Amino acid sequence: MSALGRFLLSPPACRDLGTLRRAVAGHTILVTGASSGIGAATARRLGEAGATVLLLARREGALGAVAAQIRAAGGQAHLYPANLADPAGVQAVAGRIQAAHPRLHAVISNAGRSVRRRAQDGEATQDLPRLLAVNFSGPAALLLALRPALAAGGVVVNVSSVSARHVGAPRWSAYQGSKAGFDLWLHAAGAEWPRVRVASVYLPLVRTPMSAPTRAYRFLPALSADEAAQAVLWPLVRPVVRAAPWWLRGVELAGLLAPHALGRALRVLERWEAGQGGPA
């Protein structure tokens, strides 16, 4: 993407490897959802910068492929296969992580799932409980269990979405609700944790396996996974609490000043998307 495109789309980002290396070399950093997309790109970049990267996701084979790329580039990576939707599995993996790495310097809470379906239709398919488990209760339980490893000080980065902050959009209720709920929970819980800084990065559209099935998104501008990873790493090099594209404040203001007009615009967008072939 061009420099202008990145300026228009991206939250602030750490593009310089030397700056990242000075911040994270020698640190131990857990990345959840490291088997794919933004998490895999973030883990590779951290490995390149000299961090020991702990990779968590369900698919062990895919995690192994990311670990092999990190090691081939001279970095260090360890696999922690786990399902965040399984409460017992979350406790078990937190125990394994802390037994091997008693001190964590950062956690990148990135694993997530999206479903795009009307709330009423999603009831039958349990969209809300499924997304809450992966996007909210699982990551929350993991962080609570990992608190001892962060007690000496660290950073928790929440990989969130611009959609967690603007007005509700049709067909996104389970995704927006779970992402916004976790974000608020994390900042409230983080306020109780001395020496831990909590930061959220609100990403716009990113080309990954998550966004690929939505046909209409192919026509919209998007970050690559590597560009998104550079934004995710910004809170590791600057003491920010929230990082978002500059235009998000304008959207939030529009939601406050003209909620009906914004709601109508979102419904028009939904109809346009349906005209492009609808949700895949």
Ligand X SMILES: NC(=O)c1ccc[n+]([C@@H]2O[C@H](COP(=O)([O-])OP(=O)(O)OC[C@H]3O[C@@H](n4cnc5c(N)ncnc54)[C@H](OP(=O)(O)O)[C@@H]3O)[C@@H](O)[C@H]2O)c1
Task: Considering the complex, state which of residue 62 and residue 167 has its C-beta at the smaller distance from ligand X.
Answer: 62
Helix, strand, coil % (nearest 5) of the chain?
55, 15, 30
Binders in 172-201 for ligand X, by CB under 6 A: 179
Task: Considering the complex, state which of residue 14 and residue 131 has its C-beta at the smaller distance from ligand X.
Answer: 131
Task: Considering the complex, state which of residue 27 and residue 113 has its C-beta at the smaller distance from ligand X.
Answer: 113
Q: Which of 20, 27, 28, 39 binds ligand X (CB under 6 A)?
A: 39
Q: Is 159 in the site for ligand X (CB under 6 A)?
A: yes
Task: Considering the complex, state which of residue 44 and residue 113 has its C-beta at the smaller distance from ligand X.
Answer: 113
Q: Which of 13, 30, 53, 111 binds ligand X (CB under 6 A)?
A: 111
Q: Annotated catalytic, 217? A: no
Q: Is 13 in the site for ligand X (CB under 6 A)?
A: no
* Integer CA distances (angstroms), 200 to 56, 98, 136, 190, 206, in order: 19, 24, 14, 11, 16
Q: In degrees to the nearest 10, what's the CA dihedral of 221, 253, 246, 200?
A: -90
Strands (DSSP E) found in 110-191: 154-161
Among 6-14, 108-116, 149-157, 245-253, which window interacts with ligand X (CB under 6 A)?
A: 108-116
Q: Which of 15, 58, 147, 187 binds ligand X (CB under 6 A)?
A: 58
In the chain, the amino acid numbered 233 is L
Q: Is 242 in the site for ligand X (CB under 6 A)?
A: no
Q: Is 59 in the site for ligand X (CB under 6 A)?
A: yes
Report in angstroms how near the CB of residue 86 gets to ligand X at its nearest: 8
Which residue do the tokens 């109780």 mark? Answer: 192
Binders in 211-240 for ligand X, by CB under 6 A: 211
Q: Which of 210, 216, 251, 265 binds ligand X (CB under 6 A)?
A: 210
* Distance, CA of 44 to CA of 226 (rounded, Å): 9
Q: Which of 208, 229, 234, 236 binds ligand X (CB under 6 A)?
A: 208
In the chain, the amino acid numbered 158 is N
In the chain, the amino acid numbered 48 is E
* Distance, CA of 199 to CA of 190 (rounded, Å): 9
Report in angstroms how near the CB of residue 131 gets to ligand X at its nearest: 10
Task: Considering the complex, state which of residue 180 and residue 262 has its C-beta at the smaller distance from ligand X.
Answer: 180
* CB of 90 closer than 8 Å to CB of 145: yes
> Which pair of structure tokens corresponds to residue 71?
């090691």
* Distance, CA of 195 to CA of 78 (rounded, Å): 25
* CB of 224 closer than 8 Å to CB of 206: yes
* Distance, CA of 131 to CA of 122 (rounded, Å): 11
Q: Is 29 in the site for ligand X (CB under 6 A)?
A: no
* Distance, CA of 155 to CA of 240 (rounded, Å): 10
Q: Is 90 in the site for ligand X (CB under 6 A)?
A: no
Report in angstroms how near the CB of residue 202 gets to ligand X at its nearest: 8
**Catalytic (active-site) positions:** 175
Catalog residues that contact ligand X under the rule CB under 6 A: 33-39, 57-59, 62, 83-85, 110-114, 134, 159, 161, 179, 203, 205-206, 208-211
